[in-house]
Amino acid sequence: MKERKKIVFLTGTRADFGKLKSLIEITRNAQDFEVHIFATGMHMDLKFGFTVKEIEKCGYDNIYKYINQDNESLMDITLARTIDGFAKYVHLIQPDLIVIHGDRVEALAGATVGALNNILVAHIEGGELSGTVDELIRHSVSKLSHTHFVANEEAKTRLMQMGELRSNIHVIGSPDMDVMLSNTLPSWNEVKESYEIGFNEFAISMFHPVTTEFNDMDAYADEYIKALEESNLNYIVIYPNNDKGSHFILEKMKRLQDNPRFRIFPSVRFEAFLVMMKHAQLIVGNSSAGIREAPYYGIATVNVGTRQNGRTHNPNIIHTTYNKVDILSGLAKARDMALQPHHLFGDGKSDEQFFTIISNPAFWNTSKQKVFRDRSLSSIEHA
């Protein structure tokens, strides 16, 4: 009987779980694979919604829960703790493949443990521009990973520019599009009732700290919240991530708690969030959701500050500074925009492509000895 390959999906946030979910779904019931989930990071934090419960609601087996953070959320300490916990877990279950996503320290920990233990590592959505310190992490994860499942040809080109082998880079689109373009999302009425939302016209606010701008985040958060207050729009507000500086944003958000124009949530289930976004007037803040997901629904984005620098030139996106007046101007422009959906990151079949690739025996023969492919920029452009 053919031995099943053991796959561990590492997830640390509500966002990366949304990216990994369709890949987990398509592999978990396949006879050739045994799926495990290592849930850590924000998933285990009560303040940010204890979102591991959303993973458990999916009915998955083999969920391992690990607390890697304390109240200070220092990224270097979090990285060290995650490496320690994940390494012990990996030594216990001996996986054949570690699957990680994006640019968080949890992904860096997973790639480090895999690389140093001779375990195949697959990185989802490498080769992209993240902005701020996240970009350093994303590219570091790529260099520690053996295989890459990227969103588009542009990302593939960047990885080749970084010396990665063409044969180990697979363009599958962005896996969250599998959920976005599915016919299994709840209705707006279901979401509205479940989350007790008392309005039909609204914007979505998601504003995260920028770790490299820590000393200014208090002032930036103040300007941002003032802009929301003065805009006269209704808002669904979702907590920031727990990077250093999040406490500044959470403190300023307290001013919104008793305002009937605002519904504030520590976290929202990914499918519900997509329905909210699909019905929103616009999205404001500095979340990648405004860069990647919103254009699929033809929703305008007011992108505030530097966190998403360089990620897109999509005409649906209005870039502003942290200044209140600039943000208000961006909100006014966004409300007047007539937009069409832009499909930039796949066709909703990333899971099928992922499954086909890992079902090929050749995939499991991928060399764990990394080789740097030296090439000029001009050869990449014409490759």
- Do 313 and 374 fall into the same domain? no
Token pair for 17:
């779980």
pLDDT of residue 383: 47
- Do 23 and 39 fall into the same domain? yes
pLDDT of residue 358: 98
Q: Model pTM? A: 0.89
Task: Evaluate whether residue 156 is within a structural domain.
Answer: yes
In CATH, what number is assigned to the domain containing residue 9? 3.40.50.2000
- Do 145 and 277 fall into the same domain? no
pLDDT of residue 337: 86
Task: Evaluate whether residue 157 is within a structural domain.
Answer: yes
- Do 262 and 355 fall into the same domain? no
Is residue 42 within 8 Å of residue 51, measured between CB atoms? yes
- Do 123 and 208 fall into the same domain? no
- Do 226 and 115 fall into the same domain? no
Task: Evaluate whether residue 342 is within a structural domain.
Answer: no
pLDDT of residue 345: 73
- Do 151 and 196 fall into the same domain? no
- Do 98 and 60 fall into the same domain? yes
Residue ranges for the chain with pLDDT beneath 50: 378, 381-383
- Do 259 and 372 fall into the same domain? no
Segment 154-169, tens digit of pLDDT: 999 999 999 999 999 9
Task: Evaluate whether residue 234 is within a structural domain.
Answer: yes
Task: Please tell me the total count of domains within the chain.
Answer: 2
Segment 271-313, tens digit of pLDDT: 999 999 999 999 999 998 998 889 888 899 999 999 988 776 6
Task: Evaluate whether residue 340 is within a structural domain.
Answer: no
- Do 315 and 285 fall into the same domain? yes
Domain containing residue 171: 5-181+347-381
- Do 118 and 169 fall into the same domain? yes
Task: Evaluate whether residue 131 is within a structural domain.
Answer: yes
Number of neighbours of residue 213 by Cβ within 10 angstroms: 16
Task: Evaluate whether residue 341 is within a structural domain.
Answer: no
- Do 274 and 354 fall into the same domain? no
Task: Evaluate whether residue 99 is within a structural domain.
Answer: yes
